[in-house]
Structure 1
Amino acid sequence: MGMRAAWTVIAWILLASTTAALAAAQDTSTPQAETAQPTGNAVLFRNVRVFDGVSSQLSAPTNVLVRGNVIASISADAAAATDARVIDGGGRILMPGLIDVHWHNLLVGLPVIAALQADEATLNIVGVVEAQRTLMRGFTTVRDVGGPSFSLKRAIDQGRVPGPRIWPAGAMISVTSGHGDFRTPRDLPRTLGAPASFMDEIGGTAIADSPDEVRIRVREQLKQGAALIKLTAGGGVSSPSSPLDVVTFSEEELRAAVGAANDWGTYVTVHAYTPEAIQRAIRAGVQCIEHASLMDDESARMIARTGTWLSAQPLPRELADAFPVGSTEWLKAQEVFDGTDQTYKLAKKYKLKTAWGTDVLFSSALAGRQGAILASMSQWFSPPEILIMATSTNAELLKLSGKRTPYKNDVGVIKEGAFADLLLVEGNPLEDINLVADPERNFKVIMKDGVIYKDTL
């Protein structure tokens, strides 16, 4: 880490707790936590009906005992836990914390121009604030698929600031002119091996134009603690010099990334919209496709045949508000939005292994609708299917990280030995999925890692 980066991390760690607390106090849409400290040896959720993240059926009234940061028992007998703090659920539903597998911790809170021009300290401090808000929406785990979130993850894991568990990918690796290359023409030509831009320098993006450079960039992310690797295999919306139809990395370059990641026991996921980008990535051994918003029937069959994961997003049209109406980026966004319906229909037709995420960028206000974006999946799936996808199915995708998985217990499920990441819900989200769109009103208790961050009972 360079001196500037080191001083940045020191600065935001010193400021983080104060900043997050002030942000929560000033943000009327997000309730403050009753406590952000461990609650003691044990917590007993008494008289709850459990949605375990796997079954579409609720349990009979039961009791869930948490000891430390894991679920110790699920039992009809509550008498044995005499040392536990008791939370009487009153028949409410206890469910696993929600998981978003396409999130950008440090790129969600600022408008696009501000984010691309911000200094490191600003990005990190805004990231701290947004991390707390994410947790208070009931999202106890996220997969960060592009951005310098390693320091934020460490601060959260150390208990310095509240936030979700993070499976980080580190920099989004792209090619010259690809999605993620935010340079202007006056920044060209670059010296091979040198940082391409400010975003490259701080670890937001990484440009690689040969198999050897790809291996270097992948290994740089793994050295910093990446749980997975993210490449942009095709064009994107937010990068002005990247048309949607282009295919970026060669198959040889993609294989270099897959090989380097596999050597570390983890995997590569790729940003890809078009059939060409999807199919080339799969031929190279990529195990997960992000978006696939423009895929065709042949691509869907290839995904099914190879067992590749599809990480799709029901992108809200408000995402385009980050760009001027009629701009190249705005027009590309409309094309992507128009493909969403077909993507989910193909996913259902071929029973693809489908994970869920949001991909909110450059809008703190839209990030506040994280639960509403999940609820919008009701256009294609039933409430139980949606909740299973956002808990245990997403957790299965996280397991592709293998030995690079940063947290060793299960998430996304309620079972003995799993992490105690839990939500106590007012109402039945298995019948009314829109309950998750209003976490302030409907999530009565939010627990992550055995720590209660909200308790309005």
Structure 2
Amino acid sequence: MTSYLFKNVRVADGSAAEPSEPIQVFVDGYKIAEVGKNIPASADETIDLTGKFLMPGLIDCHAHTIAAESSFARNAELPDSLVAARASLVLRNMLMRGFTTVRDLGGADYGLKCAIEEGIFASPRLVICGKALSQTGGHGDFRGRFNSKPEVRWGLPLGALGRICDGVPEVRRAAREEIKGGADFIKIMANGGAASPTDPIHYLGFSREEMLAVVEEARNAGTYVAAHLYTDEAIHRAIHAGVHSLEHCNLIRRETADYAAAEGCIAVPTLVAFEALASEGASVGFSPDSLAKVEVIRSKGMESLTIMRDAGLPMAYGSDLLGALQRHQSEEFVIRGSVLPPHEVIASATSVAAKLLRMEGKIGTISPGAFADLIVVDGNPLNDLSLLTRQGQHMTLIMRGGVIVKHV
């Protein structure tokens, strides 16, 4: 592989409110080999980045990479071959926005991950939960009130978000199946959702015993559980059951945020999803009932950021967009930046995200031994977070694992 020496570059990685002084970064193969002011190593190519800013590759901790359709019900009806082909385009577009690692929260399988690792198409590295676990009538059940056909529980298509499991034995088996199938973590639907047809937002998914069982199975496998959550009650009971990754959290209250922080949890807000649905949801097929649920969630989103920050609850970056709305993926930076300091917003997609993915020192950092996942920004993102939007327009170089995928 080619080695690179980046010279005269200032680092904006979210660890401080100001960028670093100009330094050098030496990339050898797929890793960063050295970082310093005067690196003596010779490289195959030297790139002078005077006036530009270097960032670790961005990390999206809540994405749906197989959701080229805005409806999971429709997406699940498509042949696996078509879903995989469309997913390759979704993933490539994410990479071109500067996201070099993506955590999929329901749908993507180990085969897709293998295709990426084999270099079949350009993509961020992929962290997966396999199929999300949902109870009958929960956020993963898209049959509708008048559809009494039995839900498919095994051999699910690639385009399906999740699988249905009821009762402790079935929940345990489903978690074990996903782990056997290559899941890096387990996701459960522990609250009602906007996209699903029969569960209001206040709906509590899974019994306490079922949640305890899936958390135990994840821990037995050396991993953790992420949960789809909106209401304060749902978040509190999930923390009590041992859930580690708290997705969305729009309706969280301060006492529960304090509890989550004390238990070492990490939250993953996804405000851009609700902003995009509020403005474009009808055009992509969301029903009036679903849009009404979106508004309940959206209206409290900004307040939740302040509550969680004041409680000291770490927040990782998430987008949670589907179909055509995936083009808004990077706008979460600007939304959060209206409430939070820019360096904290950037850290949500670098160091905090790396901690959640249990890949600290490997991603989300510019340090020796880390993967050479790097983006070069034409402008200081600590002064203007919108430089990270517009489909990577202001990113003059994107590198993933030591391979340059964009250089203009």
Deviation larger for 384-393 or 171-180: 384-393
Q: Which residue of 2 aligns with 1:351?
A: 312
8 Å CA contact 1:64, 1:71 repeated in 2: yes
Q: Which residue of 1 aligns with 2:336?
A: 377
- CA drift at 1:58: 2.1
Deviation readout 1:94-123 (Å, 9 max, x if unpaired) = 11011110111001x223264243221211
Alignment of 1:245-284 (within 5 A): 245-284=202-241
Q: Which residue of 2 aligns with 1:74?
A: 35
Q: Which residue of 1 aligns with 2:405?
A: 453
Q: Which residue of 1 aligns with 2:24?
A: 63
Q: Which residue of 2 aligns with 1:5?
A: none
TM-score scaled by structure 1? Answer: 0.83
Q: Which has the higher helix share?
A: 1
Q: Please state whether the residue corresponding to 1:176 is helix, strand or coil.
A: coil
Residue identity over aligned pairs, in percent, reads 35
Deviation readout 1:376-428 (Å, 9 max, x if unpaired) = 211211211111121111111111xxxxx7xx961000001111000011011
Specify the code of the residue in structure 1 equivalent to 2:54. Answer: L
- CA drift at 1:197: 8.7
Counterpart CA distance in 2 for 1:217 and 1:131 is: 27
| Structure 1 residues 60 and 135: alpha-carbon distance in aligned structure 2, compared to 1, 3 A threshold | same
Deviation larger for 423-432 or 294-303: 294-303
8 Å CA contact 2:100, 2:124 repeated in 1: yes
Deviation readout 1:137-163 (Å, 9 max, x if unpaired) = 000011111113322221111111110
Deviation larger for 148-157 or 243-252: 148-157
Counterpart CA distance in 2 for 1:361 and 1:398 is: 22
Q: Which residue of 1 aligns with 2:249?
A: 292
Deviation readout 1:355-379 (Å, 9 max, x if unpaired) = 121111232xx22222222222112
Specify the code of the residue in structure 2 equivalent to 1:375. Answer: V
Q: Which residue of 2 aligns with 1:416?
A: 368
Aligned residues: 403
Deviation readout 1:155-192 (Å, 9 max, x if unpaired) = 111111110011101101000000010124565363xx
Q: Please state whether the residue corresponding to 1:117 is helix, strand or coil.
A: coil
| Structure 1 residues 199 and 296: alpha-carbon distance in aligned structure 2, compared to 1, 3 A threshold | farther
| Structure 1 residues 148 and 186: alpha-carbon distance in aligned structure 2, compared to 1, 3 A threshold | farther
Counterpart CA distance in 2 for 1:65 and 1:181 is: 49
Q: Which residue of 2 aligns with 1:28?
A: none
Counterpart CA distance in 1 for 2:303 and 2:13 is: 30
Task: Establish whether residue 240 from structure 1 lines up as the match of residue 177 from structure 2.
Answer: no
Deviation larger for 133-142 or 57-66: 57-66
Q: Please state whether the residue corresponding to 1:74 is helix, strand or coil.
A: strand
Task: Establish whether residue 111 from structure 1 lines up as the match of residue 56 from structure 2.
Answer: no
Counterpart CA distance in 1 for 2:233 and 2:258 is: 14
Counterpart CA distance in 1 for 2:269 and 2:70 is: 23
| Structure 1 residues 148 and 41: alpha-carbon distance in aligned structure 2, compared to 1, 3 A threshold | closer
Alignment of 1:172-191 (within 5 A): 172-184=132-144, 188=148, 190=150
Counterpart CA distance in 2 for 1:149 and 1:49 is: 38
Deviation readout 1:19-55 (Å, 9 max, x if unpaired) = xxxxxxxxxxxxxxxxxxxxx3311112211224423
Q: Which residue of 1 aligns with 2:7?
A: 46
8 Å CA contact 2:64, 2:105 repeated in 1: yes
TM-score scaled by structure 2? Answer: 0.93
Counterpart CA distance in 2 for 1:427 and 1:178 is: 45
**Aligned residue among 50, 53, 57 for 1:97:** 57
- CA drift at 1:283: 1.4
Question: Structure 2: where are the runs of 5+ without partners?
Answer: none
- CA drift at 1:319: 1.9
Q: Which residue of 2 aligns with 1:86?
A: 46
Task: Establish whether residue 442 from structure 1 lines up as the match of residue 399 from structure 2.
Answer: no
Task: Establish whether residue 161 from structure 1 lines up as the match of residue 91 from structure 2.
Answer: no
